[in-house]
Amino acid sequence: MNKSPQRIFVTGISTEVGKTVASAVLVRALKADYWKPIQCGDLHDLEFEKVLAWADCAESMAHPSRYLLEHPMSPHAAAQRSGLNLALSDFVRPHPAKTLVIEGAGGVLVPLNDTDTVVDLIHPGDRVVVVSKHYLGSINHSLLTAEVLKARGIQGFWVFNGDPNPETESVILSKTGWPFLGRLLPEPLIDAACIARYAQDWGIRWAQITADPTVSDTK
């Protein structure tokens, strides 16, 4: 019996923590498609364009975002500024017959409207990759993010962004029990060659940790 194609939801402990770079690495490593349901901010710097350029994978494509909002605010506020009211039913996923990497907006509790947040875009069966960037307060933000996901029965995978910080990382890994997928180091330039280097290691690691029967899917 054939398995359903993987759906990987990339989120972060805050905004500007490296979700787009991590998404590009996963797209390249898994020859996946990419979907950003909603982008708020500079529409002259679209994230799907960056991901495709960085991943540089002829087998990958970007599926159209449902919303591109010009105001650099949370989705609910950016939508209101544009005279819109977002609803979960607006976000109909593409269904490619291959792995799909989905990049959320900000963190898991970023509001889409008065009721729903980004975590509500995560579907049963999704693998969830959480990017944690090292800064003062990141342990708290990481563990709070994990608590929100665990409350919904969601198994996460960690990506750390920054130079190795054993004191921080050991606490996050031990308290969550989630596996480590990979690390993003400070890079002078993010380009296709840089992404390809990461993708080689992450692809191997992804195959290892997702094949482990002790690592469960999202419930």
Separation between Cα atoms, residue 101 and residue 17, nearest integer Å:
17
Separation between Cα atoms, residue 142 and residue 130, nearest integer Å:
8
Given a contact cutoff of 8 angstroms between Cβ atoms, the answer to whether 112 and 86 are in contact is: yes
* Three-state DSSP class for residue 95: coil
* Residues in the chain, total: 219
Name beta bridge partners: 107: 12
Of 36, 98, 133, 219, which is the active-site residue?
A: 36
Q: How many CA atoms lie within 13 A of 198 on its CB side?
A: 25
Give residues with Cβ within 8 angstroms of 95, minimum separation 6: none
| C-alpha closest to that of 9 among 111, 117, 108 | 108
| C-alpha closest to that of 156 among 182, 128, 119 | 128
Separation between Cα atoms, residue 130 and residue 15, nearest integer Å:
12
Specify whether 36 is catalytic: yes
Query: Among all residues, which ones are annotated catalytic?
Result: 36
